[in-house]
Structure 1
Amino acid sequence: MDQLDIYANVERPSANPGKKKSLEIFSESIYSNKDNIHTQPNRTGPAISGAGGKRVNKSSCSAAAVFLGLLCLLLLTGLITLVFLFTKGKSEWEMEMVLLHTSYNNLTKELDQLQTSYNNLTKEQDRLQQRVENITMETNDLQKNLQDCDQLGWVYFNMSFYYISLLKKSWQDSRDDCLQRGADLVIINSKEEQNFSSQFKRLTWIGLTNKVKEVTWKWVDGTLPTTSFWAKGQPGGGKDRNCTKIISSNLDNNWNDESCNLQNFWICEKRLPV
Protein backbone atom coordinates (compact mmCIF):
# COMPACT_ATOMS: atom_id res chain seq x y z
CA MET A 1 0.00 0.00 0.00
CA ASP A 2 1.33 3.40 -0.91
CA GLN A 3 2.31 5.75 1.96
CA LEU A 4 0.16 8.64 0.71
CA ASP A 5 -2.88 6.47 0.80
CA ILE A 6 -2.12 5.53 4.38
CA TYR A 7 -1.93 9.19 5.49
CA ALA A 8 -5.06 10.01 3.64
CA ASN A 9 -6.92 7.29 5.33
CA VAL A 10 -5.69 8.38 8.73
CA GLU A 11 -6.72 11.99 8.30
CA ARG A 12 -10.03 11.20 6.69
CA PRO A 13 -12.72 11.35 9.36
CA SER A 14 -14.64 8.24 9.94
CA ALA A 15 -18.01 7.74 11.31
CA ASN A 16 -16.71 4.83 13.33
CA PRO A 17 -14.44 5.99 16.22
CA GLY A 18 -13.27 2.43 16.97
CA LYS A 19 -12.20 1.92 13.51
CA LYS A 20 -10.22 5.18 13.61
CA LYS A 21 -8.36 4.03 16.61
CA SER A 22 -7.53 0.75 14.95
CA LEU A 23 -6.16 2.61 11.96
CA GLU A 24 -3.94 4.69 14.19
CA ILE A 25 -2.55 1.61 15.84
CA PHE A 26 -1.99 0.01 12.42
CA SER A 27 -0.26 3.17 11.20
CA GLU A 28 2.08 3.15 14.13
CA SER A 29 2.85 -0.49 13.48
CA ILE A 30 3.72 0.34 9.92
CA TYR A 31 6.11 3.07 10.95
CA SER A 32 7.61 0.82 13.52
CA ASN A 33 8.10 -1.90 10.96
CA LYS A 34 9.55 0.62 8.54
CA ASP A 35 12.18 1.57 11.07
CA ASN A 36 12.92 -2.06 11.73
CA ILE A 37 13.42 -2.62 8.01
CA HIS A 38 16.13 0.05 7.91
CA THR A 39 17.80 -0.84 11.22
CA GLN A 40 17.83 -4.70 11.30
CA PRO A 41 19.07 -7.10 8.70
CA ASN A 42 16.54 -9.47 7.26
CA ARG A 43 17.30 -12.90 8.65
CA THR A 44 14.42 -14.71 7.03
CA GLY A 45 14.67 -17.36 4.29
CA PRO A 46 14.91 -15.05 1.24
CA ALA A 47 18.10 -13.46 2.65
CA ILE A 48 19.90 -16.77 2.42
CA SER A 49 19.66 -16.66 -1.34
CA GLY A 50 21.50 -13.35 -1.42
CA ALA A 51 25.26 -12.64 -1.72
CA GLY A 52 26.27 -15.30 0.84
CA GLY A 53 24.39 -17.98 -1.12
CA LYS A 54 26.12 -16.94 -4.31
CA ARG A 55 29.53 -17.30 -2.62
CA VAL A 56 28.63 -20.83 -1.43
CA ASN A 57 27.46 -21.91 -4.91
CA LYS A 58 30.56 -20.41 -6.52
CA SER A 59 32.86 -22.35 -4.12
CA SER A 60 31.00 -25.58 -4.82
CA CYS A 61 31.30 -25.08 -8.58
CA SER A 62 35.01 -24.32 -8.26
CA ALA A 63 35.57 -27.49 -6.22
CA ALA A 64 33.64 -29.52 -8.78
CA ALA A 65 35.62 -27.98 -11.61
CA VAL A 66 38.91 -28.76 -9.86
CA PHE A 67 37.75 -32.34 -9.23
CA LEU A 68 36.71 -32.78 -12.83
CA GLY A 69 40.03 -31.29 -13.97
CA LEU A 70 41.97 -33.70 -11.79
CA LEU A 71 39.82 -36.58 -12.99
CA CYS A 72 40.43 -35.60 -16.63
CA LEU A 73 44.16 -35.29 -15.92
CA LEU A 74 44.21 -38.74 -14.34
CA LEU A 75 42.27 -40.17 -17.26
CA LEU A 76 44.61 -38.49 -19.73
CA THR A 77 47.63 -39.76 -17.82
CA GLY A 78 46.20 -43.27 -17.77
CA LEU A 79 45.39 -43.07 -21.47
CA ILE A 80 48.92 -41.89 -22.31
CA THR A 81 50.34 -44.68 -20.14
CA LEU A 82 48.18 -47.26 -21.88
CA VAL A 83 49.18 -45.95 -25.30
CA PHE A 84 52.86 -46.01 -24.30
CA LEU A 85 52.61 -49.53 -22.90
CA PHE A 86 50.68 -50.69 -25.94
CA THR A 87 53.19 -49.12 -28.32
CA LYS A 88 56.12 -50.54 -26.38
CA GLY A 89 54.49 -53.95 -26.17
CA LYS A 90 53.68 -53.88 -29.88
CA SER A 91 57.29 -52.94 -30.75
CA GLU A 92 58.66 -55.71 -28.56
CA TRP A 93 56.16 -58.14 -30.05
CA GLU A 94 57.13 -57.11 -33.57
CA MET A 95 60.82 -57.49 -32.70
CA GLU A 96 60.16 -60.92 -31.23
CA MET A 97 58.25 -61.86 -34.37
CA VAL A 98 61.19 -60.71 -36.53
CA LEU A 99 63.60 -62.72 -34.39
CA LEU A 100 61.33 -65.76 -34.49
CA HIS A 101 60.98 -65.43 -38.26
CA THR A 102 64.76 -65.15 -38.65
CA SER A 103 65.27 -68.17 -36.40
CA TYR A 104 62.68 -70.09 -38.39
CA ASN A 105 64.43 -69.26 -41.67
CA ASN A 106 67.81 -70.27 -40.23
CA LEU A 107 66.38 -73.53 -38.91
CA THR A 108 64.75 -74.19 -42.28
CA LYS A 109 68.09 -73.66 -44.06
CA GLU A 110 69.85 -75.92 -41.57
CA LEU A 111 67.15 -78.53 -42.03
CA ASP A 112 67.58 -78.34 -45.81
CA GLN A 113 71.34 -78.68 -45.44
CA LEU A 114 70.93 -81.64 -43.10
CA GLN A 115 68.47 -83.21 -45.52
CA THR A 116 70.92 -82.70 -48.39
CA SER A 117 73.76 -84.16 -46.30
CA TYR A 118 71.55 -87.08 -45.35
CA ASN A 119 70.65 -87.69 -49.00
CA ASN A 120 74.32 -87.51 -49.98
CA LEU A 121 75.27 -89.89 -47.19
CA THR A 122 72.50 -92.24 -48.26
CA LYS A 123 73.75 -92.19 -51.85
CA GLU A 124 77.31 -92.71 -50.66
CA GLN A 125 76.17 -95.59 -48.47
CA ASP A 126 74.38 -97.13 -51.44
CA ARG A 127 77.52 -96.77 -53.57
CA LEU A 128 79.65 -98.29 -50.81
CA GLN A 129 77.16 -101.11 -50.42
CA GLN A 130 77.26 -101.72 -54.16
CA ARG A 131 81.05 -101.60 -54.05
CA VAL A 132 81.11 -104.12 -51.21
CA GLU A 133 78.81 -106.39 -53.18
CA ASN A 134 81.00 -106.03 -56.27
CA ILE A 135 84.15 -106.75 -54.26
CA THR A 136 82.47 -109.73 -52.70
CA MET A 137 81.51 -111.03 -56.14
CA GLU A 138 85.03 -110.37 -57.45
CA THR A 139 86.50 -112.12 -54.44
CA ASN A 140 84.26 -115.09 -54.99
CA ASP A 141 85.14 -115.14 -58.68
CA LEU A 142 88.83 -114.85 -57.86
CA GLN A 143 88.56 -117.65 -55.37
CA LYS A 144 86.80 -119.77 -57.94
CA ASN A 145 89.38 -118.88 -60.59
CA LEU A 146 92.17 -119.73 -58.17
CA GLN A 147 90.65 -123.10 -57.51
CA ASP A 148 90.00 -123.74 -61.19
CA CYS A 149 93.42 -122.51 -62.28
CA ASP A 150 95.17 -124.47 -59.61
CA GLN A 151 93.46 -127.62 -60.82
CA LEU A 152 94.39 -126.76 -64.46
CA GLY A 153 98.04 -125.93 -63.76
CA TRP A 154 97.80 -122.13 -63.49
CA VAL A 155 99.99 -120.17 -61.08
CA TYR A 156 98.94 -116.86 -59.51
CA PHE A 157 101.42 -113.96 -59.29
CA ASN A 158 100.87 -110.20 -58.86
CA MET A 159 97.27 -109.96 -60.13
CA SER A 160 97.80 -112.39 -63.02
CA PHE A 161 97.51 -116.12 -63.64
CA TYR A 162 100.28 -117.91 -65.51
CA TYR A 163 100.18 -121.24 -67.28
CA ILE A 164 103.46 -123.03 -68.00
CA SER A 165 103.10 -125.60 -70.71
CA LEU A 166 104.26 -129.18 -70.45
CA LEU A 167 104.54 -129.54 -74.23
CA LYS A 168 106.58 -127.83 -76.91
CA LYS A 169 105.11 -125.95 -79.84
CA SER A 170 105.98 -123.23 -82.32
CA TRP A 171 105.56 -119.64 -81.28
CA GLN A 172 102.27 -119.23 -83.17
CA ASP A 173 100.87 -122.57 -81.99
CA SER A 174 101.86 -121.66 -78.46
CA ARG A 175 100.01 -118.40 -78.74
CA ASP A 176 96.94 -120.11 -80.18
CA ASP A 177 96.88 -122.40 -77.15
CA CYS A 178 96.98 -119.40 -74.81
CA LEU A 179 94.15 -117.72 -76.71
CA GLN A 180 92.04 -120.87 -76.37
CA ARG A 181 92.57 -120.68 -72.62
CA GLY A 182 91.35 -117.04 -72.50
CA ALA A 183 94.88 -115.70 -72.15
CA ASP A 184 97.90 -114.76 -74.32
CA LEU A 185 101.63 -115.22 -74.31
CA VAL A 186 103.23 -113.54 -71.30
CA ILE A 187 104.02 -109.80 -71.41
CA ILE A 188 106.90 -108.90 -69.06
CA ASN A 189 106.75 -105.32 -67.72
CA SER A 190 108.90 -105.48 -64.58
CA LYS A 191 111.96 -107.04 -63.04
CA GLU A 192 109.75 -109.00 -60.64
CA GLU A 193 107.77 -110.51 -63.49
CA GLN A 194 111.01 -111.29 -65.34
CA ASN A 195 112.32 -113.18 -62.32
CA PHE A 196 109.03 -115.03 -61.97
CA SER A 197 109.00 -116.08 -65.64
CA SER A 198 112.64 -117.25 -65.51
CA GLN A 199 112.31 -119.57 -62.52
CA PHE A 200 110.86 -122.55 -64.40
CA LYS A 201 114.21 -123.50 -65.98
CA ARG A 202 112.78 -124.06 -69.41
CA LEU A 203 113.22 -122.54 -72.84
CA THR A 204 109.89 -120.74 -73.06
CA TRP A 205 108.25 -118.53 -75.64
CA ILE A 206 107.13 -115.07 -74.49
CA GLY A 207 104.82 -112.63 -76.28
CA LEU A 208 107.42 -110.36 -77.92
CA THR A 209 107.81 -110.41 -81.74
CA ASN A 210 108.83 -108.30 -84.72
CA LYS A 211 107.01 -110.35 -87.35
CA VAL A 212 104.94 -107.34 -88.45
CA LYS A 213 107.91 -104.99 -88.89
CA GLU A 214 111.50 -106.26 -88.82
CA VAL A 215 113.10 -103.50 -86.77
CA THR A 216 110.25 -102.95 -84.32
CA TRP A 217 109.65 -105.33 -81.45
CA LYS A 218 106.14 -105.30 -79.95
CA TRP A 219 104.22 -107.28 -77.41
CA VAL A 220 101.21 -109.32 -78.48
CA ASP A 221 98.86 -106.55 -77.27
CA GLY A 222 100.53 -104.09 -79.69
CA THR A 223 102.46 -102.08 -77.07
CA LEU A 224 106.17 -101.28 -77.22
CA PRO A 225 108.45 -102.68 -74.49
CA THR A 226 109.00 -100.29 -71.58
CA THR A 227 111.82 -102.48 -70.30
CA SER A 228 113.80 -105.36 -71.81
CA PHE A 229 116.08 -108.16 -70.65
CA TRP A 230 117.97 -109.17 -73.80
CA ALA A 231 120.96 -111.44 -73.37
CA LYS A 232 124.37 -110.18 -74.43
CA GLY A 233 124.52 -109.65 -78.17
CA GLN A 234 120.78 -110.01 -78.58
CA PRO A 235 118.63 -109.56 -80.53
CA GLY A 236 120.83 -111.02 -83.25
CA GLY A 237 118.49 -109.99 -86.09
CA GLY A 238 117.72 -111.78 -89.30
CA LYS A 239 114.53 -112.32 -91.25
CA ASP A 240 113.92 -115.74 -89.73
CA ARG A 241 114.53 -114.68 -86.09
CA ASN A 242 111.33 -112.80 -85.26
CA CYS A 243 110.17 -114.36 -81.96
CA THR A 244 111.53 -114.15 -78.40
CA LYS A 245 112.22 -116.85 -75.83
CA ILE A 246 113.77 -117.11 -72.36
CA ILE A 247 116.97 -119.15 -72.69
CA SER A 248 118.20 -119.49 -69.08
CA SER A 249 117.07 -119.15 -65.51
CA ASN A 250 120.55 -118.32 -64.23
CA LEU A 251 120.89 -114.96 -65.97
CA ASP A 252 119.07 -111.70 -65.29
CA ASN A 253 119.16 -110.80 -68.96
CA ASN A 254 118.13 -113.95 -70.78
CA TRP A 255 115.98 -113.02 -73.79
CA ASN A 256 117.00 -114.32 -77.18
CA ASP A 257 115.45 -113.84 -80.62
CA GLU A 258 114.74 -117.10 -82.40
CA SER A 259 112.99 -118.56 -85.42
CA CYS A 260 109.27 -118.65 -84.73
CA ASN A 261 109.05 -122.20 -86.14
CA LEU A 262 111.19 -123.80 -83.46
CA GLN A 263 109.52 -125.94 -80.80
CA ASN A 264 109.63 -124.58 -77.25
CA PHE A 265 107.61 -124.50 -74.07
CA TRP A 266 105.54 -121.36 -73.52
CA ILE A 267 104.02 -119.24 -70.75
CA CYS A 268 100.45 -117.95 -70.94
CA GLU A 269 99.29 -114.94 -68.91
CA LYS A 270 95.74 -114.10 -67.90
CA ARG A 271 95.44 -110.69 -66.28
CA LEU A 272 92.75 -110.07 -63.69
CA PRO A 273 90.54 -106.98 -64.13
CA VAL A 274 91.66 -104.07 -61.95
Structure 2
Amino acid sequence: MACNIYEDPDLTMKVSYNKGARRKGWEREEKVVDIYESADMLTGPRLNPSRKGRGARTQKRPPAVQRNSYKAAALILGLLCLLLLAGISVLLILYLPISLKSKQPNLTCQIQTKEKQNQSDTEWQEFRLSHFYYASAEKKNWTESRKNCQRRGGDLVIINSFEKQKFIQRMKIHGDSWIGLQTSDKWNVKWTWVDGSEPRYSAWKQGVNINPEAESRGYIDQQGLWMRNKNGLKHWICEKKNY
Protein backbone atom coordinates (compact mmCIF):
# COMPACT_ATOMS: atom_id res chain seq x y z
CA MET A 1 0.00 0.00 0.00
CA ALA A 2 1.41 3.30 -1.05
CA CYS A 3 2.23 5.78 1.64
CA ASN A 4 1.68 9.47 1.14
CA ILE A 5 4.31 11.42 3.04
CA TYR A 6 2.23 14.62 2.90
CA GLU A 7 -0.73 13.13 4.76
CA ASP A 8 -1.17 13.89 8.46
CA PRO A 9 0.64 11.30 10.55
CA ASP A 10 -1.27 8.75 12.59
CA LEU A 11 -0.75 9.72 16.18
CA THR A 12 -1.39 6.19 17.42
CA MET A 13 0.55 3.16 16.50
CA LYS A 14 -0.05 -0.49 17.40
CA VAL A 15 2.99 -2.67 17.79
CA SER A 16 2.89 -6.45 18.35
CA TYR A 17 5.68 -8.40 19.83
CA ASN A 18 6.21 -11.95 21.06
CA LYS A 19 6.77 -12.34 24.68
CA GLY A 20 8.70 -15.40 24.08
CA ALA A 21 9.42 -18.06 21.54
CA ARG A 22 7.21 -21.10 21.28
CA ARG A 23 8.86 -23.58 23.48
CA LYS A 24 7.71 -27.00 24.31
CA GLY A 25 4.33 -26.61 22.93
CA TRP A 26 3.70 -23.28 24.57
CA GLU A 27 1.57 -21.08 22.58
CA ARG A 28 2.98 -17.84 21.44
CA GLU A 29 1.59 -14.92 23.41
CA GLU A 30 1.27 -11.66 21.63
CA LYS A 31 0.50 -8.38 23.11
CA VAL A 32 -0.49 -5.23 21.35
CA VAL A 33 0.89 -1.99 22.77
CA ASP A 34 -0.52 1.32 21.74
CA ILE A 35 2.16 3.97 21.37
CA TYR A 36 0.98 7.59 21.40
CA GLU A 37 3.20 10.23 20.14
CA SER A 38 2.95 13.80 21.24
CA ALA A 39 0.94 15.92 18.91
CA ASP A 40 3.21 18.86 19.63
CA MET A 41 6.24 16.92 18.52
CA LEU A 42 4.64 15.97 15.22
CA THR A 43 2.47 18.92 14.38
CA GLY A 44 4.71 21.78 15.63
CA PRO A 45 6.23 24.06 13.02
CA ARG A 46 9.55 23.05 11.77
CA LEU A 47 11.63 26.18 11.95
CA ASN A 48 14.70 26.73 9.96
CA PRO A 49 17.49 27.76 12.35
CA SER A 50 19.09 29.88 9.71
CA ARG A 51 15.88 31.82 9.11
CA LYS A 52 15.29 32.32 12.83
CA GLY A 53 18.69 33.87 13.29
CA ARG A 54 18.16 36.27 10.41
CA GLY A 55 14.78 37.38 11.86
CA ALA A 56 16.36 38.26 15.20
CA ARG A 57 18.98 40.36 13.50
CA THR A 58 16.44 42.29 11.43
CA GLN A 59 14.37 43.19 14.50
CA LYS A 60 17.28 44.96 16.13
CA ARG A 61 17.71 47.41 13.26
CA PRO A 62 14.73 49.06 11.42
CA PRO A 63 14.70 49.05 7.66
CA ALA A 64 16.40 51.85 5.75
CA VAL A 65 13.06 53.19 4.43
CA GLN A 66 11.72 53.59 7.96
CA ARG A 67 14.85 55.43 9.11
CA ASN A 68 14.63 57.80 6.18
CA SER A 69 10.99 58.64 7.01
CA TYR A 70 12.00 59.56 10.57
CA LYS A 71 14.70 61.88 9.28
CA ALA A 72 12.31 63.54 6.86
CA ALA A 73 9.72 64.14 9.61
CA ALA A 74 12.35 65.66 11.92
CA LEU A 75 13.61 67.91 9.11
CA ILE A 76 10.10 69.15 8.30
CA LEU A 77 9.40 69.87 11.98
CA GLY A 78 12.62 71.86 12.27
CA LEU A 79 11.76 73.91 9.18
CA LEU A 80 8.31 74.69 10.58
CA CYS A 81 9.86 75.93 13.83
CA LEU A 82 12.23 78.19 11.90
CA LEU A 83 9.38 79.61 9.83
CA LEU A 84 7.36 80.28 13.00
CA LEU A 85 10.26 82.16 14.60
CA ALA A 86 10.80 84.17 11.43
CA GLY A 87 7.11 85.11 11.30
CA ILE A 88 7.13 86.28 14.92
CA SER A 89 10.23 88.38 14.27
CA VAL A 90 8.63 90.05 11.25
CA LEU A 91 5.46 90.82 13.20
CA LEU A 92 7.46 92.42 16.01
CA ILE A 93 9.46 94.52 13.55
CA LEU A 94 6.27 95.76 11.88
CA TYR A 95 4.24 96.26 15.07
CA LEU A 96 6.71 98.17 17.24
CA PRO A 97 7.08 101.26 14.97
CA ILE A 98 3.30 101.47 14.55
CA SER A 99 2.67 101.30 18.30
CA LEU A 100 5.30 103.94 18.96
CA LYS A 101 3.78 106.25 16.36
CA SER A 102 0.30 105.77 17.80
CA LYS A 103 1.52 106.74 21.28
CA GLN A 104 3.54 109.73 20.12
CA PRO A 105 0.53 111.96 19.18
CA ASN A 106 -0.98 111.38 22.63
CA LEU A 107 2.21 112.56 24.27
CA THR A 108 2.28 115.56 21.95
CA CYS A 109 -1.32 116.43 22.81
CA GLN A 110 -0.56 116.17 26.52
CA ILE A 111 2.45 118.46 26.16
CA GLN A 112 0.45 120.96 24.13
CA THR A 113 -2.37 120.90 26.68
CA LYS A 114 0.05 121.54 29.53
CA GLU A 115 1.68 124.37 27.58
CA LYS A 116 -1.70 125.97 26.91
CA GLN A 117 -2.63 125.58 30.55
CA ASN A 118 0.61 127.21 31.66
CA GLN A 119 0.10 130.02 29.18
CA SER A 120 -3.46 130.58 30.37
CA ASP A 121 -2.25 130.62 33.98
CA THR A 122 0.23 133.37 33.17
CA GLU A 123 -2.62 135.44 31.73
CA TRP A 124 -4.31 135.59 35.13
CA GLN A 125 -3.59 138.78 37.10
CA GLU A 126 -3.48 138.70 40.87
CA PHE A 127 -5.37 141.05 43.14
CA ARG A 128 -4.57 141.23 46.86
CA LEU A 129 -3.32 137.65 46.96
CA SER A 130 -6.93 136.51 47.18
CA HIS A 131 -8.30 136.67 43.62
CA PHE A 132 -7.07 136.23 40.09
CA TYR A 133 -8.55 137.90 36.98
CA TYR A 134 -8.40 136.98 33.34
CA ALA A 135 -9.27 139.16 30.31
CA SER A 136 -10.10 137.19 27.15
CA ALA A 137 -8.87 137.98 23.66
CA GLU A 138 -11.83 136.14 22.08
CA LYS A 139 -15.43 137.21 21.74
CA LYS A 140 -18.52 135.28 22.82
CA ASN A 141 -22.04 136.01 24.01
CA TRP A 142 -22.69 136.47 27.74
CA THR A 143 -23.78 132.86 28.36
CA GLU A 144 -20.82 131.27 26.54
CA SER A 145 -18.43 133.73 28.21
CA ARG A 146 -19.63 132.62 31.62
CA LYS A 147 -19.24 128.95 30.68
CA ASN A 148 -15.64 129.62 29.66
CA CYS A 149 -14.91 131.20 33.04
CA GLN A 150 -16.47 128.23 34.82
CA ARG A 151 -14.28 125.81 32.85
CA ARG A 152 -11.30 127.81 34.06
CA GLY A 153 -12.37 127.35 37.68
CA GLY A 154 -14.03 130.73 38.19
CA ASP A 155 -16.93 132.90 36.98
CA LEU A 156 -17.55 136.28 35.41
CA VAL A 157 -16.09 139.06 37.48
CA ILE A 158 -18.06 140.66 40.33
CA ILE A 159 -17.17 144.31 40.95
CA ASN A 160 -18.38 145.21 44.43
CA SER A 161 -15.85 147.84 45.54
CA PHE A 162 -14.12 151.00 44.30
CA GLU A 163 -10.73 149.38 44.78
CA LYS A 164 -11.65 146.41 42.56
CA GLN A 165 -13.14 148.80 40.00
CA LYS A 166 -9.82 150.64 39.72
CA PHE A 167 -7.96 147.37 39.41
CA ILE A 168 -10.23 146.28 36.50
CA GLN A 169 -9.66 149.63 34.77
CA ARG A 170 -5.89 149.12 34.95
CA MET A 171 -6.16 145.65 33.44
CA LYS A 172 -5.21 145.19 29.85
CA ILE A 173 -8.60 144.53 28.32
CA HIS A 174 -9.08 144.20 24.58
CA GLY A 175 -12.39 146.06 24.30
CA ASP A 176 -15.95 145.88 25.61
CA SER A 177 -16.04 142.94 28.03
CA TRP A 178 -18.84 141.09 29.77
CA ILE A 179 -18.99 141.16 33.55
CA GLY A 180 -21.07 139.07 35.96
CA LEU A 181 -23.98 141.53 36.12
CA GLN A 182 -27.43 140.42 34.93
CA THR A 183 -31.14 140.90 35.51
CA SER A 184 -33.22 138.16 37.05
CA ASP A 185 -36.86 137.34 37.82
CA LYS A 186 -39.21 138.44 35.04
CA TRP A 187 -41.86 139.64 37.52
CA ASN A 188 -39.48 141.43 39.85
CA VAL A 189 -36.67 142.45 37.54
CA LYS A 190 -33.53 143.68 39.26
CA TRP A 191 -29.77 143.71 38.81
CA THR A 192 -27.88 140.89 40.45
CA TRP A 193 -24.41 139.41 40.27
CA VAL A 194 -23.76 135.84 39.19
CA ASP A 195 -23.47 134.78 42.84
CA GLY A 196 -27.03 136.07 43.52
CA SER A 197 -25.97 139.17 45.47
CA GLU A 198 -27.27 142.68 44.63
CA PRO A 199 -24.83 145.44 43.59
CA ARG A 200 -23.51 147.50 46.52
CA TYR A 201 -21.28 149.53 44.27
CA SER A 202 -21.84 150.74 40.69
CA ALA A 203 -19.81 152.56 38.01
CA TRP A 204 -22.34 153.11 35.24
CA LYS A 205 -21.29 155.22 32.32
CA GLN A 206 -22.98 158.61 32.29
CA GLY A 207 -26.18 158.67 30.22
CA VAL A 208 -26.84 154.91 30.37
CA ASN A 209 -30.38 153.87 31.37
CA ILE A 210 -29.75 151.74 34.43
CA ASN A 211 -33.37 150.70 34.92
CA PRO A 212 -33.33 146.89 34.87
CA GLU A 213 -35.00 145.15 31.97
CA ALA A 214 -35.53 141.44 31.47
CA GLU A 215 -32.59 139.52 30.07
CA SER A 216 -30.21 142.46 30.23
CA ARG A 217 -26.47 141.88 30.77
CA GLY A 218 -23.77 144.22 32.03
CA TYR A 219 -20.39 144.87 30.46
CA ILE A 220 -17.58 147.44 30.74
CA ASP A 221 -16.02 149.55 28.00
CA GLN A 222 -12.34 150.20 27.35
CA GLN A 223 -12.22 152.72 30.21
CA GLY A 224 -13.82 150.26 32.63
CA LEU A 225 -17.22 151.99 32.87
CA TRP A 226 -20.41 149.91 33.05
CA MET A 227 -22.83 149.55 30.21
CA ARG A 228 -25.70 147.21 29.35
CA ASN A 229 -26.83 145.06 26.49
CA LYS A 230 -29.11 142.08 25.91
CA ASN A 231 -26.94 140.15 23.54
CA GLY A 232 -23.96 140.35 21.21
CA LEU A 233 -20.36 139.14 21.02
CA LYS A 234 -17.86 140.70 23.39
CA HIS A 235 -14.73 139.90 25.33
CA TRP A 236 -15.12 138.87 28.96
CA ILE A 237 -13.36 139.03 32.30
CA CYS A 238 -13.11 136.03 34.59
CA GLU A 239 -12.50 135.96 38.33
CA LYS A 240 -11.42 133.09 40.57
CA LYS A 241 -10.32 132.78 44.16
CA ASN A 242 -6.76 131.99 45.14
CA TYR A 243 -7.20 128.91 47.37
Q: TM-score, normalised by structure 2?
A: 0.46
- Which one has a larger percent helix, Structure 1 or Structure 2? 1
Higher strand share: 2
- TM, length-normalised to structure 1: 0.41
The higher radius of gyration belongs to 1
